[in-house]
Amino acid sequence: MTGKRARVVAFGGGHGLSASLRALRLSRLDLDITAVVTVADDGGSSGRLRAERDAQLPPGDLRQALAALADDDATAQRTAQLLQHRFAAVGDGEPDPLSGHAVGNLLLLGLMELLGDPVVALQHAERMVGAHGRVLPMASHAVGIEADVRGGDPERPKETVTVRGQHQVAITTGHVEAVRLVPASPPACPDALAAIAQADWLIFGPGSWYTSVLPHLLVPELAEAIVASPARRLVTLNLAADNETFGMSVADHLRALHWYLPSLRTDVVLADAKWVGEPEPVHHAAEALGARLVLAPLAVADGSARHDPESLGVALVPVLGAAR
């Protein structure tokens, strides 16, 4: 991309989106970054705030995206560390209302209640950390996730049952056959739709496939905007399957994108050369989406199945920096 600042929209949630955003920062490319974050989290601190405070949006994944985009200035980094700080339990077993909550979750909840608009609240938080980019929710209100899971009930291993809630789907030990949002057509964040329409690149993954990546394709307005956008599209594949995708091959992850949004076309699929396994099936699955497969070292050096933001940033340079 030459002659102007490339506008990049990254979709996801949790640690996967955080790694992608850090990689975009570390690439040193001149990028205008927007993170569009899933809002289905119902576990841990976010789940408690949804249940106890009827939070308009679960703040956890939004908080992580803000921290990933924080400026390198010492004050901004300390503020980002504060957002990520999680209160430990204290006392002698008595109930501790702060235990397990991240400071940033409480801050974002307070800003949303104070300002009445989650996008305005996020803009204020962006200024607090000197964010190099925007953080937006994929929908204007929290959503739920439910899945049809074969073997989701250990007592009925051959039957398909409905598993409800993002957290329960993420930790299921059964085989996920289908996933959907509740409600099925949540209102998309208008600012996210505008960012998609103006983007040069749309980036999907890495991250939990059924609970962080695919949910964006299940919001009808977002799906329409993604298909209609003139942007090029990049899919960054996970290094290994997790609970919710156990038994799925790397190529199956790409086929799932087509299953949930048949009109989605992609340009580049980025995968780790070591973790991808036999590349030929992945190459064919990428071709079926209209994409070319790019293999590069993306994992951390200790051999675990985690993306290294610096290595991912290096791999993104020739892809995002290529002239259109």
Category of 14 on φ-ψ map: left (φ > 0), alpha (ψ -120 to 50) or beta: left
Distance of CA 23 to the CA centre of its chain: 14
Q: Is the pLDDT of residue 120 over 80?
A: yes
Token pair listed for 116: 């009445």
CA 5/CA 316 separation, integer angstroms: 15
The residues that bridge with 11 in the sheet, in sequence order, are 36, 204
Average pLDDT along the chain: 94
**Nearest-10 crossing angle of helices 74-84, 118-129:** 130
If one compares 90 and 292, the residue with the highest pLDDT of the two is 292
Q: Tell me the per-residue pLDDT of 273-301, one tens digit each, with 9 for 90 and over.
A: 888 888 999 999 999 999 999 999 999 99
Q: Quote the CA–CA distance of 167 and 42 in Å, as a whole number.
A: 6
At 238-256, the pLDDT tens digits run 998 888 888 889 999 999 9
Say if CB 268 and CB 234 are below 8 A apart. yes
Cβ atoms of 239 and 306 within 8 Å: the answer is yes
Looking at the domain that runs over 1-27+187-324, which CATH code has it been given? 3.40.50.10680
Any bridge partners for residue 75, and if so which? none
Alpha carbon distance 172, 232 (integer Å): 34
Residue 91 has pLDDT above 80, yes or no: no
Whether residue 206 is preceded by a cis peptide bond, meaning omega within 30 degrees of 0, is: yes
Give the sign of the dihedral formed by CA 111, CA 113, CA 115, CA 120. Answer: positive
Whether this prediction's pTM lies above 0.85 is answered by: yes
Closest CA to 324 of 286, 260, 263, 268: 268
Q: Which two tokens stand for residue 259?
A: 């299953």
Report d(CA 264, CA 282) in Å as an integer.
17
Token pair of 20 as six digits:
């992608």
- CA 135, CA 66: separation in Å to the nearest integer? 7
Residue with tokens 């051999």: 303
Alpha helices in 276-308 (DSSP H): 279-288
Q: Which helix (H) or strand (E) holds 167?
A: helix 166-171
Domain ranges in the chain are 1-27+187-324, 40-137, 144-180
CA distance 136 to 90: 34
What gap in Å lies between CA 183 and CA 82, rounded to an integer? 34
- What letter would DSSP give residue 264? -
CA dist., res. 100 & res. 216, Å (int): 28
Closest alpha carbon to 201 in 300, 291, 119: 291
pLDDT tens, residue by residue, 121-141: 999 999 999 999 999 999 999
The gap from C-alpha 102 to its chain's centroid, in whole angstroms, comes to: 19
Q: How far apart are CA 1 and CA 74, in angstroms?
A: 31
Q: What is the pLDDT of residues 184-219, one digit of tens each?
A: 999 999 999 999 999 999 999 999 999 999 999 999
For tokens 């038994």, the residue is 247
Given a cut of 60, is residue 1 above it in pLDDT?
A: no
- Run of H or E including 103: helix 103-115
Task: Extract the tokens encoding 220.
Answer: 């009808």
